[in-house]
Amino acid sequence: MHMMGEEEFDTFYSVSYSSLAGQLYAMTGDWAEAQQVVQEAFVRAWDHRSSFDLEAAPDSWVRTVARHLTGSRRRRGHEPSSGLAGQEPVRFVEALRRLGDDQRHFVVLHYLCDLGIEDIAAETGVTIEAVRAGLARGRAALAVARDGELPHEELVGELYDFANRNAHPRLTAQRVREQGDRRRLSRRSATVGGAGVLALAGVVVVALLAGSPAPPRVAPTAGHPTGAHRVAAKQSRS
């Protein structure tokens, strides 16, 4: 596996940011949120850069993390914005709003990311059959929404043109790496701290046990070894 260095990551970030933001915009319908989650996903990508190979579709890793971040935001009560202030709506995104989450996800991965059925299944963690069914339903619903017009190069190109014009990363690549480094140090500190607490708790328990008085010794009675009379007593009460 080839782990990317700083220069390779910076190139990956500059080349891929706008397209990934456009893909997340299509998935979420919220342009501001799409940029935010993609930015954070790149921070985590640098933090976990040993987890993926530069030659093995790192954009899939970033896209998956960004979508999970979107789900977390929605569970915390974040409401997506309904449109773009001062701009014409992107037709493909407006049509995708009519689809369910899974259908929209499959359609975006297929038409915007050029992924086949098997690749979509691998990225989403569902079965090939589920992808086929969801993609078919999504295409059918989208055809109705577009008056019979399925997604094609014009609609996809319009979305990517919008993303290229309007995607303005808040952080430079260097700042993304710096935040990723801080995040990694924070995770390591938390891990070491947690291990230290567990170790300290173990020492305290051992010390308490060492300082506790021994249980009283019961003298054996005639004809019974130590402890046997207690078993007999329990049996006699039953």
Q: Is 165 a member of any domain?
A: yes
Residues in the chain: 238
Q: Across residues 113-125, what is the average pLDDT?
A: 95
* Structure confidence by residue, pLDDT tens digits, 4-38: 899 999 999 999 999 999 999 999 999 999 999 99
Q: Is 88 a member of any domain?
A: yes
Q: Is 167 a member of any domain?
A: yes
Q: State the total domains in the chain.
A: 1
Q: Is 207 a member of any domain?
A: no
Q: Is 210 a member of any domain?
A: no
State the pLDDT at residue 23: 96
What percent of the chain clears pLDDT 90, i.e. is strictly above it?
A: 47
Q: Cα separation of 221 and 225, whole Å?
A: 7
Residue of 176 and 223 predicted with greater confidence: 176
Q: Is 126 a member of any domain?
A: yes
pTM of the model as a whole: 0.74
Q: Is 205 a member of any domain?
A: no
What single letter denotes the amino acid at residue 128?
A: I
What percent of the chain clears pLDDT 70, i.e. is strictly above it?
A: 70
In this predicted structure, the answer to whether residue 193 has a pLDDT above a threshold of 80 is no
Range of the structural domain that residue 124 is part of: 6-181
Q: Is 208 a member of any domain?
A: no
